[in-house]
Amino acid sequence: MTIFPIGHGFGINTNIFETNIINLAAVIAIVISFVGSNFTAILEDRRKTILNNLEEATQRALEAEQRLSQARTQLELAKKKAQEIREEGISRATQEINTVVNQHEIRIAKLQEFKEETLSFYQQKAFKEAYLYVISRIMKRVSERLNSGLDTTYHVVVNNFYVSRFTESNPSVKTK
């Protein structure tokens, strides 16, 4: 190290390390004195911003948890409602099926009754037509016999028929 004697004036210190330390100390002192308060304020603002962001994030997380809890509750309610609707639908469908089956059975019973009434009507009609046909044929033959006159054989047969009928209806008369 080269030291110049005092009194010789200003000199140049040729030791770069010492000069750098002195320069750095001077710069730091100037920076701290002028920028220090501003830098501290900036750091304080940054700290407050970070704390606010953390608080907001925590608040948003709590809100998200609440919304998730509400969504889960709504999902459970929706599931219960869907189950109720499904059960009600099955119940209504079963009731509707039973109603339709009962109506169908009633219609079948009415149709069966109508069929039997129709059959009975046509049977009676057929019997009446057959009866009228037989009666008309008998009346025609009786009319032909009466118009042709009675011969003795037929007269005896008719008299015997009425006599036998009379004796059957009146038991007090005895045949000899």
pLDDT above 90 (res 59): yes
Return the pLDDT at 90: 95
Q: Tokens 């004697």 label which residue? A: 5
Residue 7's region, left for phi above 0, alpha for psi from -120 to 50, else beta, is left
The residue ranking higher by pLDDT, 14 or 164, is 164
pTM over cut 0.85 = no
Per-residue pLDDT tens for 91-143? 999 999 999 999 999 999 999 999 999 999 999 999 999 988 998 888 888 77
The string of DSSP codes covering 26-49 is HHHHHHHHHHHHHHHHHHHHHHHH
Three-state secondary-structure class, residue 176: coil
The residue ranking higher by pLDDT, 6 or 71, is 71
Residue 149's region, left for phi above 0, alpha for psi from -120 to 50, else beta, is left
Question: Which range among 24-38, 40-54, 130-144 shows the weakest confidence by mean pLDDT?
Answer: 24-38
| Predicted confidence band of residue 174 (pLDDT cuts 50, 70, 90) | low
Q: Cα–Cα distance between 109 and 90 in angstroms, integer?
A: 28
Domain limits of the chain?
A: 16-169
Three-state secondary-structure class, residue 9: coil
